[in-house]
Amino acid sequence: MSVIRGGHVRVNGIRQHYLHFSGSGRPVVIVPGIVSPAILWAHVGEWLAPRYDCYVLDVRGRGLSEAGPHLDYGVGACAQDAAAFVAALGLTEPLLIGHSMGARISLRAATLAPERLHALILLDPPTSGPGRRPYPVPLARTLALLRASQRGEAAQALASSAAAPWPEELHRLRAEWLSTCDERAAYVASDDFHGQDMFADLARTTMPISLICAGEGGVVSDEDVEEMQRLRPDLHAVRLPGAGHQMQAENFDAFSRLLEQTLLRHDQEFIRSNH
């Protein structure tokens, strides 16, 4: 098992916390979703570490990264953090894996610093935006969960949720760490889901890109996938049957098999591009 090493670095004017799962392969950076501190992706980092040098970010306002009313929580600022993190650690052409909000952050980062990144894997990105259907997960549900965590009642709130259950260890971690997520960051992320156009960012990317969609939850529709592939005909898209938006937790075995296949495809692209 890889040794988990946490660290802090000052990038883009903030204290950026990350987890490092040291491996001998190419660097991979994971950017989690709206209320997912890095620790909730530790099982993914441990799985990746034998073949990759994996970093998982605490997006600003979550986990142990800087938070507070002085911060801009918008997708642009978060994307600048990710690009600055890659530069500060001197990572050579890492692959960015972004989940949900993290996928939109990763897309924006790819438009800001395309020379620093090799490829993107987008995991069930919210496709809402101006003139589009709303994000199917109500903000009120997320806020209720955060407020329960602030009262010390996260475990009870999660247990009564209608969402698919997480494995017990991840469930306990989620209950423990939810209170580190700044409610203001959730508000801003939700506003950006509806006010910013991820399709415009997608059209501006040039690096290899893959899309893994959940089979359930309705975050990415078949029509969304078709539109993305019109913008990027080389985009490789797959869907994971029977798994919801939190597929990395709900069905890790199936998720990891699909992610492994996607990573292998990008590894082969990387080898071709460097020969």
Q: What is the pLDDT of residues 79-133, one digit of tens each?
A: 999 999 999 999 999 999 999 999 999 999 999 999 999 999 999 999 999 999 9
Task: Say whether pTM exceeds 0.85.
Answer: yes
Q: Quick: pLDDT tens for 238-253.
A: 999 999 999 999 999 9
pLDDT band per the 50, 70, 90 thresholds, residue 1: very low
Residue 51 predicted with pLDDT over 90: yes
Phi, psi of 136 (to 5 degrees): -75, -10
Predicted local distance difference test score (pLDDT) of residue 172: 95
Amino acid 229: pLDDT:
97
Contacts of residue 188, defined as CB under 8 A and 6 or more positions apart, other chains included, come to: 73, 74
| Number of Cβ atoms within 10 Å of the Cβ of 156 | 12
CA–CA separation, 275 and 266 (whole Å):
14
Average pLDDT over residues 13-31: 96
Phi first, then psi, for residue 92 (nearest 5°) are -90, 110
Inter-residue contact 266 to 119 (CB < 8 Å): yes
- In the structure encoding, which two tokens stand for residue 62, read together? 């979550």
Strand-strand pairing, 119-123 and 209-214:
parallel
In sign, the C-alpha dihedral spanning 257, 258, 259, 260 is positive
When pLDDT is averaged across residues 234-240 and rounded to a whole number, the result is 96
